[in-house]
């Protein structure tokens, strides 16, 4: 090893002289040095290049790579957790929307049912059309009320008279000068009742002995009733939904 | 002269060939290069001292490189590869500095 020897700090010139001499007149001993220096230069340049072109992970030690891998898998774990959380949020939001939708649909259904019952919605469906002719002018509210009651009794869901009056819970019938008066609307015979319900049941409800048809067509009144069963008829007249003034819903909880 | 030419040839060869460093050599090459540099500077100093011997240079060069690689290899096997190669670099760096200081004194008398 050459390093241990360099204590000779003699008069300066010989070292420099030797260097100049070697540069001018190279000897045999320099061949080995040249070869080794070539090796050093080659290896150094190769190493520099491989450091510069380095993809980040090439040449890292095993433990460094393991650490890197750990941190990466921790990061991906975090990302996965986040994904799960977001998915949960999404599904809960979706459930929310679904249940809201269901509630909305239910409310809409109920509104439809109530609207048909209260006469605020036009209705369509199978039913019967009852025409009452009254040549003698003797068909009054007695007969009509009976008829309507019979129809309700057999499941009539929507009733309309003469395309002008909807019969609902609040409907009042009176006798008028030229016919019956329904909710203040005077109607003239012949009366046409359009009733939505099960056609057969409704027909039977009017036809039984001593019922509506017998009553109207009897000798006392002298009217004429025709009943037509229809697959589909429309009850388009609406009644104004009366806002209850005195009645409040009772809390039933 | 020949030594300088050799260094130049090595650098040019490395630039031209651009060889891939094989994987098994990758941890050892940087340490080996630093060890070789240490040997080169030691040789230059010995030359300026007038005690240069090409046989000694060859032997010290090869043994420096081998020992550096061996230490790194051992360190890797023992699980302290990173620390040990840092240690080797530090020691070689100190020696290079002291050698360069001696060379400087020879050439510039300072």
SS3 annotation, chain B = CHHHHHHHHHHHHHHHHCCCCCHHHCCCHHHHHHHHHHHHHHHHHHHHHCCCCHHHHHHHHHHHHHHHHHHHHHHHHHCCHHHHHHHHHHHHHHHHHHHHHHHHHHHHCC
Q: Please list every residue in chain B whose beta carbon sits closer than 8 Å to the beta carbon of residue A51.
A: 30
Backbone angles phi, psi at A119, to 5 degrees: 80, 15
What CA dihedral angle connects B77, B78, B84 and B88, to 10 degrees? Answer: -50
Q: What is the pLDDT of residues A4-38, one digit of tens each?
A: 444 444 444 677 777 777 777 767 777 888 888 88
Strands (E), chain A: 123-133, 158-161, 165-167, 173-175, 180-182, 185-186, 191-196, 224-235
pLDDT at A119: 83
**Furthest-apart CA pair in chain B: how many Å?**
46
Helix (H) or strand (E) holding A37: helix A29-52
Which residues 15-34 of chain B have a CB within 8 Å of chain A?
A: 15, 18-21, 26-27, 29-30, 32-33
pLDDT at A6: 41
Q: What is the pLDDT of residues A196-227, one digit of tens each?
A: 989 888 888 888 887 888 888 888 888 888 88
Q: Please list every residue in chain B whose beta carbon sits closer than 8 Å to the beta carbon of residue A13.
A: none
Residue listed under structure tokens 């002269």: B1
Q: Do B29 and A29 touch (CB under 8 A)?
A: no
Give A67→chain B minimum CA distance, Å.
13
- Residue B77, chain A, CB below 8 Å: the answer is no
Give A8→chain B minimum CA distance, Å.
7
- Residues B20, B26, B27, CA angle at the centre, nearest 5°? 170
| Residue-by-residue DSSP string for A154-208 | TT--EEEETTTEEE-TT--EEE-SSSEEETTEE--SSEEEEEES-HHHHHHHHHS
Size of interface A-B (CB pairs under 8 A): 164
pLDDT at A54: 60
Residue B93 has pLDDT above 60, yes or no: yes
Residue A81 has pLDDT above 90, yes or no: yes
Q: What is the pLDDT of residues B36-81, one digit of tens each?
A: 999 989 988 888 888 888 888 889 999 999 998 898 888 888 888 8
- Residue B106, chain A, CB below 8 Å: the answer is yes
Q: Do A43 and B36 touch (CB under 8 A)?
A: yes
Residue A189 has pLDDT above 70, yes or no: yes
Q: Do A41 and B56 touch (CB under 8 A)?
A: no
Measured between CB atoms, which of A15, A34, A61 is closest to B48?
Answer: A15
Highest mean pLDDT among A186-190, A192-196, A210-214, B25-29: A192-196
Of all residues in chain A, what percent carry a pLDDT higher than 90? 17
* Burial class (CB within 10 angstroms; exposed 0-12, middle 13-18, buried 19+) of A126: middle
Answer for the pair A205, A150: CB distance below 8 angstroms, yes or no. Answer: yes
Give B21→chain A minimum CA distance, Å.
7
Question: Which two tokens mark A8?
Answer: 């000779």
pLDDT at A4: 40
pLDDT at A26: 67
pLDDT at A235: 85
Give A92→chain B minimum CA distance, Å.
50
Q: What is the pLDDT of residues B1-23, one digit of tens each?
A: 677 888 888 888 888 887 887 87
- Residue B73, chain A, CB below 8 Å: the answer is no
Q: Do B11 and A42 touch (CB under 8 A)?
A: yes
Residue A58 has pLDDT above 70, yes or no: no
Residue A59 banded pLDDT, cuts 50, 70, 90: low
Residue in A113, A117, A237 with CA at minimum distance from that of residue A170: A117
Residue A162 banded pLDDT, cuts 50, 70, 90: confident
| Segment A151-159 mean pLDDT | 87
The residue among A207 and A85 whose pLDDT is bigger is A85
Q: Do B1 and A46 touch (CB under 8 A)?
A: no
Question: Domain locations in chain B?
Answer: 23-108
Domains of chain A, CATH where assigned: 123-235 (3.30.70.1880)
Q: Do B46 and A8 touch (CB under 8 A)?
A: no
Give A71→chain B minimum CA distance, Å.
19
Q: Please list every residue in chain B whose beta carbon sits closer than 8 Å to the beta carbon of residue A16.
A: 48, 106-107
Mutate to test the interface with A, among B6, B38, B66 (most CBs of A within 10 A): B6
Q: What is the pLDDT of residues A126-140, one digit of tens each?
A: 999 988 888 877 778
Averaged pLDDT of chain A: 82
Of all residues in chain A, what percent carry a pLDDT higher than 70? 91
């Amino acid at each position: 090893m050459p390093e241990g020897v360099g204590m000779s700090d003699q008069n300066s010139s010989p070292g420099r002289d030797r260097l100049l001499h070697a540069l001018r007149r190279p000897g045999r001993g320099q061949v080995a040095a040249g070869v080794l220096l070539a090796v050093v230069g080659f290896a150094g340049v190769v190493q520099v290049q491989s450091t510069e072109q380095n993809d980040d992970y090439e040449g890292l030690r095993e433990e460094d790579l393991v650490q890197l891998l750990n941190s990466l898998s921790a990061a991906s774990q975090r990302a996965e957790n986040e994904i799960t959380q977001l998915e949960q949020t999404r599904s809960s939001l979706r459930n929310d929307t679904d249940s809201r939708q269901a509630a909305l649909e239910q409310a809409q259904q109920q509104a439809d049912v109530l609207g048909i019952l209260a006469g605020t919605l036009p209705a369509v469906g199978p039913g019967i059309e009852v025409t009452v002719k009254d040549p003698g002018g003797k068909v009054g509210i007695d007969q009509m009320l009976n008829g309507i009651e019979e129809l309700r009794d057999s499941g009539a869901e929507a009733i309309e008279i003469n395309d002008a009056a909807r019969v609902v819970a609040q409907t009042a019938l009176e006798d008028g000068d030229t016919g019956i008066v329904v909710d203040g609307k005077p109607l003239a015979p012949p009366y046409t009742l359009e009733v939505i319900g099960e056609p057969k049941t409704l027909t039977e409800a009017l036809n039984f002995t001593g019922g509506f048809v017998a009553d109207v067509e009897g000798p006392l009144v002298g009217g004429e009733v025709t009943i037509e069963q229809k697959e589909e008829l429309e009850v388009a007249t609406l009644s104004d939904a009366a806002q209850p003034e005195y009645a409040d819903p009772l809390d039933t909880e | 002269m020949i030594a300088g030419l050799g260094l130049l040839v090595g650098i040019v060869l490395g630039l031209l060939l651009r060889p891939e460093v094989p994987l098994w050599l990758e941890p050892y090459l940087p340490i080996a290069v630093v060890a070789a540099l240490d040997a080169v500077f030691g040789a230059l100093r010995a030359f300026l001292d007038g005690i240069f011997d090409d046989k000694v240079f060859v032997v010290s060069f090869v043994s420096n490189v081998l020992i550096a690689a061996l230490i790194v290899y051992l360190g890797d096997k023992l699980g302290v590869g990173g620390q040990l190669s840092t240690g080797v670099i530090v020691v070689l760096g100190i020696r290079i500095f002291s050698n360069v200081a001696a060379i400087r004194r020879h050439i510039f008398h300072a």
